[in-house]
Amino acid sequence: MDPLTASLMAIGSGSAAGLRPYFTVLALGIAGLAIPDSAPEMIASAARQIPASIANPWVLAICAVLAIGEAGLDKI
């Protein structure tokens, strides 16, 4: 699966679940970076399917800013 299709699927599934898309991308990106290859095979194989474009530090930083911004703006 190409990275663009995987990214759009992640955004679409997060939106369908009622979450903001950047929360889904942030969670998937962090999981892709945090799960080592030495994890149990079922978990490691799922983590290997997360595209590198979602685990890109720039993408994660932008999603984190959006998530923090929305959490802060919801309180105002």
Render pLDDT for 4-53 as a digit per residue (tens, 0 to 9). 777 777 776 766 566 677 788 888 888 888 888 888 888 888 888 888 88
Position 61 confidence tier, pLDDT thresholds 50, 70, 90: very high
Reduced to 3 states, what is the DSSP secondary structure of residue 19?
coil
Buried b (16+ CB within 10 A) or exposed e, 31-41: ebeebeeeeee
Positive or negative, the CA dihedral 41, 42, 44, 46 is: positive
Q: Check residue 35 and give its pLDDT.
A: 87
What does pTM read for this prediction?
Answer: 0.67
